């Protein structure tokens, strides 16, 4: 598992609007990962139209997400977590749904 402060870059994509953004500024990443913690949840049936690629010094983490899901994709398996509020607020600020 990774910690938010380890993220060096975040590549964000909203597949619904075809918008994308790359965040590398430490202050901006700090806003995204303010109070970041992942809490496991049961999988749900929602459709995820957004993705994030989180780059640390040691790995690239692929995430499928929506307003309430933060699902980490790892070599064919999926770990399901609740969406951290600050992360999604910053994601939406950069890539609005509409």
- CB 20, CB 13: distance < 8 Å: yes
Boundaries of every domain in the chain:
4-94
Written as six digits, the tokens of 75 are 């070599």
Query: What pLDDT band is residue 16 in, cutting at 50, 70 and 90?
Result: confident
Angle, CA 33 vertex, CA 70 and CA 60 arms, to 5°: 60
pTM of the model: 0.87
Give 52-96 pLDDT, tens digit per residue: 999 999 899 999 999 999 999 988 899 999 999 989 999 998 887
Architecture field, domain 4-94: 2-Layer Sandwich (3.30)
pLDDT band at 35 (very low <50, low <70, confident <90, very high): confident
* Average pLDDT over the chain, rounded to an integer: 89
């Amino acid at each position: 598992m990774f910690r938010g402060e380890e993220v060096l870059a975040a590549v964000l994509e909203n597949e619904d609007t075809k918008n994308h953004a790359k965040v590398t500024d430490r202050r901006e990443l700090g806003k995204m990962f303010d109070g970041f913690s992942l809490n496991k949840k049961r999988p749900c049936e929602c459709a995820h139209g957004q993705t994030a690629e989180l780059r640390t010094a040691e790995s690239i983490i692929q995430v499928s997400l929506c307003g309430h899901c933060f699902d980490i994709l790892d070599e064919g398996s999926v770990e399901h977590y609740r969406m951290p509020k600050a992360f999604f607020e910053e994601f939406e600020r950069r890539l609005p749904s509409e």
